[in-house]
Amino acid sequence: MTSNAAPPAYDHLCWAYDDPAVLDSRAMAFLAAGLAAGERVWLAAPSRPGSLTHRLDGLPGLADALRTGAARMVPVDDAYRREEVIDPETQVRHYAAATADALADGYTGFRVAAETTSLVRTPAQRDAFTRYEHLIDRYMRVNPMSAICAYDRRELGEPAIAELACLHPETNADVLFRLYAADPDEGAVALAGELDPSNHRLFATALDRADPQPVDGRLVVDGTDLRFIDHRCLIHLGEHARRRGVTAVLRTSRSSAARLVELLDLPDVRVEVMRWGPVPPPATSATTTRPSCSTRTSTCSPWCCPSCSVASRPASRPWWASVGATPSWSGRPCPPARA
């Protein structure tokens, strides 16, 4: 099956619900958009009467999609026993295979709406499932898969919902921060929202569960959308980095985070402050000379080096400066121009 519609962008949403009718509407729109875009869609939900599986029988085109293989119903109860703890890596491989199969069959991507409240009722289940949520989020960042993860707030309660929601890039739940997979060009993990005394323990738990992977001894955290971070969370970040023998590099526009790191003397955390404005001219010192970019780009990137042609890009753009150091280019070449 093929479609002329452009595949949707990366989308990974945690949807906490109290009213099943609201979930029905959201899931129906999500799956319908996937079918319209030429994706293969799955609905994973309990198979009991009145469950999401039966409530979406009215989805336009569902009968034909089920017949052709463009859609599939996956009863969660058939795949898992009650109180079962999933294996995160195995579950990611399962969805990666489903995505590959969809592409091989001519679909533009793979999309799933999953109502998995039954898989996160116990603390042990949530330990495993939140790890899986981050792993599949990383997979979706670079592969044509999208998902809605739906959880019944009436059964789980607000604390459990927060544990799940904070590990999604998007959510309708009332959480102050989100920790999720970053664009691979920007870091290992992204951090958005506000980290304060009310949620610092949740942040520590989320960080340990996600366990983002460092590269070359650095755990780069993209804090572009971070509005506030207090000293407790910086300490948690430093402890996490120390246990893994790496340096946590937090990139944020919040200069207060840099000052806190200096005051607390956190050797395992480095803050690089993002600033907006003209990039400082290239240094003349032999030890700090910046190489020329091999490719000119028409749009600015935080990683563009100052030796790029000023005429080809805006004069004002974001750049990184490490705390306590002269503003400097990161050493990363400009990305290739996109067609």
pLDDT tens-digit map of 235-264: 999 999 999 999 999 999 989 999 999 999
Neighbours of 310 (CB within 10 A): 11
Residue 175 has a pLDDT of: 97
Residue 80 has a pLDDT of: 65
CA dihedral 282, 286, 289, 294 (to 10 degrees): 130
Domain positions in the chain: 12-175, 189-281+298-322
Residue 20: both structure tokens together: 């099943």
Name the stretches of the chain with pLDDT < 50. 1-8, 279, 283-319, 323-339
Residue 45 has a pLDDT of: 85
Tell me phi and psi for residue 247, to 5 degrees. Answer: -105, 130
Residue 186 has a pLDDT of: 82
Residue 213: both structure tokens together: 């992977």
In whole angstroms, give the CA distance from residue 131 to residue 134. 5
Pick the CATH number of 12-175 from 3.40.30.10, 3.40.50.300, 3.30.420.310, 3.40.50.620: 3.40.50.300
Say what the pTM is: 0.79
In one-letter notation, the amino acid at residue 69 is G
Residue 289 has a pLDDT of: 37
In whole angstroms, give the CA distance from residue 76 to residue 141. 25
Residue 302 has a pLDDT of: 40
Residue 293 has a pLDDT of: 39
Angle between helices 231-243 and 255-264 (to 10 degrees): 70
Superfamily of domain 189-281+298-322: STAS domain (3.30.750.24)
Which residue is it, tokens 């990683």? 303
Residue 310 has a pLDDT of: 35
